[in-house]
Structure 1
């Protein structure tokens, strides 16, 4: 390969990474994105009122219910609702976004618990956001691994950013790969979309230059022969890296890598990163 071709390839690699990075930042800082969260309210069977959401909220065997005051309304799935509204039983890691004035009221289930998590565009964390530090992209951190499916998905319990909370994933397989001459492996969880995978991990940079609790890689479906690309340049912070108002899962023990992955997003400035 000529030097010119190498320079061209590196330029293309960098430009593609920048497109990904800008899209990540746009989702993060969107008017109703993670940084707009103003509260994380845990529901029980006693009606509760919150300063950043309308009405009184409770939950039970039939799911989440809100009773709105006269003059208040929410827009749920395009329909305006007033008075009492029943959201029903929510699936784990699922949720509904209800529009209230210029805010969105997220109603969700995390770790078996129903929560209300309002998102306001004028949240100080969002308006003060200046971007996420990241390592410069480097092709050496894009490695090809091999996906090895388990005979049957393995229920895997992991901790969460919220003390005492647990998440359970049905891990479909693992990914074996080599990095700097070391044979490594990561347990994979189901990702967003058919066949896609999610990998949660820490490494020797965690708590030093990258967020201590976790980082994530979202992967495309493996090829027919099991090949899958682990591009650690796209190692992403989860919401808990930016705010305590999150329930992010922690990596399983076997995904704590004994090497330094000097790639991807670093500790956010909101957590003291630079």
Structure 2
């Protein structure tokens, strides 16, 4: 029987997956490096400092930050103090990340098919502790560690340190990267592959082949940390080909199965969506 906090986590993850800005709604993520159209929305898009510009006529129905576009306007990217939100006809929406326009469709076909995120049953056996050792001053091997994890764009992620723990009978020293704060609290992230990471047609008991994420509180200093593997989550790329996947570092590829956490997004018949 799952506890109330875990049930709330499951419900929130399913809501996130099918939401209007959730991963199933992303229908295009197009890099804009010169003036060009972007499928399936109107306007001509071009790169500029701080985001993109869109050029459209009033009849195109493009609205940026609640103002209808008739000419050329700035669409501020996600690093701006207030990022822009773009609304198009037929309920499409757009956001800018770097030089990429992301187009969201709240009525996308995958959302209609989606039933739930399949997961392993919650088990106290998968609540473990580990020893967190933050990196030092960046000298020597620390510099190598800082460049050992790449995000989906190929940029180095900030490595926070290492977490040593037991997975089954195997002792593993995971590389932990810094994650965005969650509800104001700093977090660490593990990008993990394990023996369940496989294509579902190759292994019916599989999890997403590119790996999964585990988030945990950042203690800010060396010490013992809690690792609840029941909270392993799928990356956005498990839901849509429009997302690229970060590659788990070598240290985070474990040869034993972690039979906990999320497995795949599935439809009502249990068929894997992606």
TM-score normalised by structure 2 residue count: 0.82
Q: Compute the displacement of 1:54 (Å).
A: 2.6
> Any unmatched runs of 5+ in structure 2?
139-144
Separation (CA, whole Å) in 2 of partners of 1:267 and 1:40: 22
> Any unmatched runs of 5+ in structure 1?
1-10
Q: Compute the displacement of 1:251 (Å).
A: 1.2
Separation (CA, whole Å) in 2 of partners of 1:129 and 1:44: 34
**Does residue 143 of the first structure (1) align with residue 107 of the second (2)?**
no
**Residues 211-250 of structure 1 correspond to what in structure 2 (within 5 A)?**
211-222=208-219, 226-250=223-247
Partner residue in 2 for 1:98: 86
CA contact (8 A) 2:197 2:210 kept: yes
**Residues 48-67 of structure 1 correspond to what in structure 2 (within 5 A)?**
48-60=36-48, 63-67=51-55
Computed over aligned residues only, the root mean square deviation of the Cα atoms, in angstroms, reads 2.7
**Residues 1-274 of structure 1 correspond to what in structure 2 (within 5 A)?**
11=1, 14-45=3-34, 47-60=35-48, 63-71=51-59, 72-76=61-65, 79-82=66-69, 83-87=71-75, 91=79, 96-101=84-89, 102-109=91-98, 114-152=99-137, 154-158=145-149, 165-193=153-181, 194-207=185-198, 208=203, 209-222=206-219, 226-269=223-266, 273=272
CA contact (8 A) 1:146 1:176 kept: yes
Residue deviations 1:147-196 (CA, integer Å, cap 9, x gap):
110014643254566xxx51311101111112333221111111121531
Equivalent residues, number: 252
Q: Compute the displacement of 1:272 (Å).
A: 5.2
Q: Compute the displacement of 1:273 (Å).
A: 3.5
TM-score normalised by structure 1 residue count: 0.82
